[in-house]
Amino acid sequence: MVISKMPVYNLYMGCSVPANYPNYEAATFKIAKAYDMQLEYMEGVGCCGSPNLRAIDYMGWLTVNARTLAIAEKNGHDIVTPCNGCFASLKDAYHFLKHDADYRKKVNAILKKESLEFKGTITPRHFVEALYTDIGIEEIKKKVTKPLDGVGIAIHYGCHLLRPVDVTEFRPEYLDELVQATGASVVEYPLWKQCCGATVLPVDENVAIRLARDKIKSMKESGAEFITVVCPACGNQLDLQQLGLKESYGEEYNLPVLLYPQILGLALGMDEEEVGLSMNRVPADPILDHLTG
Amino acid sequence: MAETEESTGPPATLIDPIEMSKLDTKFREEIHSMPNGEELSACFACSTCTAACPIANIWKYKPHQLIRMILLGMRDEVLSSDEIWLCLTCFQCQERCPQKVRVTDIFFDCKNLAAEEGKVPPNIVGLGKELLEKGQLYTVTADWEREDMGLEPDVPGLSVDGLRNILKETRTSKLVDGDK
């Protein structure tokens, strides 16, 4: 008989989820608890800097993320994060430093002040990838007590979860299967790979909104009744910005956006308050009508 | 045979000719030596990157043109372009490049070179300032929402000093100071 040990993870929350999406944070914790994944908030860390920091100050961005990785290396557990932006920063820095000895030396010279060193001994991962890989679809399905009735959900993976694939090592099947495990159907739509526009928001708001709108339109036209995301920035673009489309484009989509742990949480029998459904901007309670069992 | 009209002005061209004397032949080496710039010279200008870009239609210089401009040495034009800042960083160009040129990463290199010269859109400098002063891009304001969800009002383990101390010594502080 194999006695399984509860996996422990360093939880890197970043800045956007705790400030803007406490429902995502709470639902992530509840999912982890349901599957015996032990998430421990990391001590002494903050923001990843985002792609904006990478754009203006590569060395600063690399060092900040190497520092987070080095702190996690002290206890030896992998990092998990619920944010695509944090995942991209950590994974890109990890991948680059693993392959570039010169930069590794430069970064470690700075980290030495805090008696830290990047060695590359732990891996930064997105929470949903850890759920998929370490728990597995069969185990996930076993705990589903209120499966969805096959309702069509469009997945927005988010660019920084998928690409560049040699860095992220994330495959779209992971999220497809995770959504199907709840009993929902995955709706394929032409613009599935397209960006939500979040990164360009500070430079050109109109372009950012157009990208979000094109994406939502493509989902709706393909028959989606709900959207799921695994990133606060993507969530903001598709959910909050959707409300503004009435004014800017004269279009109303009424396509609720749920964070994936909210959907799984409901399928596990949690109620709408436990997954913070009332905080979603486009009213998301129609999902409750699709729960069975 | 019809007689052609005598031309008086300079010959008509489809695009402005490149000023050879203004080219910086070192530019390609500069990018080549930056993070993920090694594959730059493998570009054979197929423009697959441009076909993959969801917003290239609104760009004056398309992604494949920017790569070609780097190879030619058009340093000022590339580093002063709006396009490098409009890049979504969606990595679609990079993913599809048949020559494995890390197009999106190279645009990050270009932005870093532009930043070294102080050429950064004001809103992005603003984000740098936010990071330097507050240590994060988003700060918890509605802590009651966290409590409603059964979370600690303050984010456990959060410390902004690590990031701030690093950025005080790197380019971010120069950019933010230069802006004052």
Q: Cα-flanking dihedrals φ and ψ of residue A87, to 5°?
A: -60, -45
Structure tokens at A147: 């499966």
Distance CA A283, CA A258 (A): 10
A197 and A78 together in one domain:
no
The CATH number for A73's domain is 1.20.1050.140
Q: Which residues pair with A39 in a beta bridge?
A: A9
The whole-angstrom distance between B140's CA and the closest CA on chain A is: 4
A19 and A71 together in one domain:
yes
Model pLDDT, residue A1: 53
A29 and A165 together in one domain:
no
Cβ atoms of B161 and B135 within 8 Å: the answer is yes
C-alpha angle A122-B132-A55 in degrees, rounded to nearest 5: 65
A61 and A184 together in one domain:
no
Helix ranges restricted to H, chain A: 16-20, 22-34, 50-56, 58-75, 84-99, 101-111, 127-130, 137-142, 159-162, 165-168, 172-180, 205-221, 232-235, 241-248, 260-267
A116 and A152 together in one domain:
no
Q: Is residue A136 part of a domain?
A: no
Q: Is residue A134 part of a domain?
A: no
Report the percent of chain A where pLDDT is more than 70.
Answer: 99
Which of A127, A156, A173 terminates a domain? The answer is A127
What's chain A's average pLDDT? 97
Assess whether pLDDT exceeds 60 at residue A197: yes
Beta strands in B59-134 (DSSP E): none
Question: Which run of H or of E encompasses A41?
Answer: strand A38-41
Say how many CA atoms lie within 13 Å of A25 toward its Cβ.
27
Question: Which run of H or of E encompasses A212?
Answer: helix A205-221
Mean pLDDT throughout B153-175? 96
Interface test with B, best of A28, A56, A191, A275 (most B CBs within 10 A): A56
A119 and A63 together in one domain:
yes
Distance CA B61, CA A59 (A): 28
Report the percent of chain B where pLDDT is more than 70.
Answer: 93
A155 and A259 together in one domain:
yes
Contact B136 A15 (CB under 8 A): yes
Assess whether pLDDT exceeds 90 at residue B13: no
Q: Is residue A132 part of a domain?
A: no
Q: Is residue A139 part of a domain?
A: no
Distance CA A54, CA A204 (A): 18
Nearest to B121 among A16, A165, A203 (CB): A203
The whole-angstrom distance between A290's CA and the closest CA on chain B is: 24
Model pLDDT, residue B4: 57
Closest CA to A191 of A166, A165, A227: A227
Distance CA B103, CA A213 (A): 26
A155 and A209 together in one domain:
yes
Distance CA A137, CA A130 (A): 11
Q: Is residue A275 part of a domain?
A: yes
ipTM: 0.96
Q: For the ranges A78-82, A115-119, B1-5, B99-103, which has the lowest average pLDDT? A: B1-5
Structure tokens at B36: 């993920």
The whole-angstrom distance between A181's CA and the closest CA on chain B is: 25
Which of A72, A101, A127 terminates a domain? The answer is A127
Distance CA A228, CA A260 (A): 6
Interface test with B, best of A40, A47, A59 (most B CBs within 10 A): A47
Domain that holds residue A51: 8-127
The CATH number for A253's domain is 3.40.50.11810
Assess whether pLDDT exceeds 80 at residue B7: no
Q: Is residue A2 part of a domain?
A: no
Beta strands in A89-135 (DSSP E): 124-126
> Is the CB of A199 inside 8 Å of chain B's CB atoms?
yes
A154 and A279 together in one domain:
yes
Mean pLDDT throughout A114-125? 98
Alpha-carbon dihedral of residues A278, A284, A285, A289, nearest 10 degrees? -160
Cβ atoms of B154 and B143 within 8 Å: the answer is yes
Assess whether pLDDT exceeds 80 at residue A224: yes
A148 and A123 together in one domain:
no
Q: Cα-flanking dihedrals φ and ψ of residue A199, to 5°?
A: -65, -30
- Which pLDDT band, with edges at 50, 70 and 90, does A5 fall under? confident
Q: Is residue A97 part of a domain?
A: yes
A268 and A166 together in one domain:
yes
What domains appear along chain B, each with residue ranges and CATH number? Answer: 22-116 (1.10.1060.10), 122-179 (no CATH)
A98 and A177 together in one domain:
no
Report the percent of chain A where pLDDT is more than 90.
Answer: 97
Q: Which residue of A has its CA nearest to B147?
A: A22
Relative orientation angle of helices A58-75 and B103-116, to the nearest 10 degrees: 120
What's chain B's average pLDDT? 93
Closest CA to A96 of B172, B90, B165, B34: B34
Domains of chain A: total: 2
